[in-house]
Structure 1
Amino acid sequence: MGVLTGKTALVTGGSRGIGRGIARKLAREGARVAIHYGHSEEAARETVELIRLDGGQAFETRAELGVPGDVTELYAGLDAGFARQGWGPEFDILVNNAGVSGSARIDEVTPELYEQIFAVNTRSLVFLVQQGLKRMRDGGRIINISSAATRIAFPESVVYAMSKGAVNTFTLALAKELGGRGITVNAVEPGFVETEMNAARRAAPEHAAELASWSAFDRLGQPSDIADVVAFLASDAGRWVTGQCIDASGGSKL
């Protein structure tokens, strides 16, 4: 039996990249996983199928984040999915992985870019948690996917880095707030991970090598590198860790 057997998890942005890696890892550890996606139904269904081929349980649910009614739509779909699966209305693990990025230096930032990034990365996150706490069992886990851009100066994506700094502050406050319910709250900070999000940045071999050189291990991260950290925090082994922002960047820019 896996260390998460009997647990139910919601992974936002779980259809591909880091989110897919996290969803598959949690399922391998025995959790039943609801996979939220915003746009690609095909990718979400592929992730569900991969989990089922591994012997796990999963379903997908759609909601575009950062628009009016997003959290209401997400939880309506989640509740309907739980009912179809016969899983019950509550869950134990919330992984806030969904997010958007945007490359822009300070002189390039537009109000539209700012609003989009903060709408998805912070506003939706706050209300996802607020509503999720009504469904989360005591002793649950909230894991926010932040970024090493909060530790390393990253002026070419200044608004994205700001939004992730807000996520870290939110993590700290929530950990204090929810300790009485036995709920741990932590953030995981990846560096460059080999996903579709940064495919254009590493299209040329020399650019990929430059990104890999940020890490002390001289390689790009893989989704599994992040998923393993998340699985630890989600398990009972992580019960005494809360309010932490855990760097999982492979020692980038030490």
Structure 2
Amino acid sequence: MTLPELEKIETHFDFQYPALYRQLSQDDMLYNGVLAPNWYEVEYPKYRLNPPLLLFGNDFELLYPDTIVAKINSFSDPDEWEISSDYRFIPFGSSGGGDLYCFYLNGQQGDDIPVVFVSFYSSEVTYLAKNLQDFIFRNMLEAVTDPYLEDVSEANFMQDIRNMLHTHSKYLSPKQQEIVSGIYARALFSYEHQIQPNGKTFTYRGLLTYDELATIVHAEIAFPELDQEFYAEE
């Protein structure tokens, strides 16, 4: 997304993006090539070396300007979403299943606009971070907790996340940079994790355990609404 495209959305929907999002736009971090059936063959090799926003993140896909506008407009369409007009969400990314990562304008505190996860099927909203910087930090950690390694070699996975660290470090705080750098320097390992509430134990492979992830998230980016949920229905 270019800065003029960003500003056009701001004007149309009467809000201001976070300063960091504008910086990402100026740094060409909100574009990962022409979206087409041959994207993986044509565009991916170029952007793999200098990954834009969370290209190798956890279940995150960038939204382009036309899609952002369409998604905002779709919130008022009862055939797509059942979201009350009282809630102001500005999507900037999606999951593979069509859920949305959004700025939640109602929750803005000073310069901080919370990032929330809006479920497509239930209109359930989960607070992920108090601002975009903390969201990027959290997602970069989640990306290495249980990465999908079926279609990529471990060597390529390690190179990909280090490339992502290279292009993303300047958007993190010094403490966040230190934490992510230390974890990304680890070797992949297997670990067991117990799923609540059924108590079943599963084996995972990554650079960070789920327990470590929870500890870091609550120590480094805690805020009152962290991981709280609500429904944004009419």
Structure 1-normalised TM-score?
0.27
Give the helix-richer structure, 1 or 2.
Answer: 1
Structure 2-normalised TM-score?
0.28
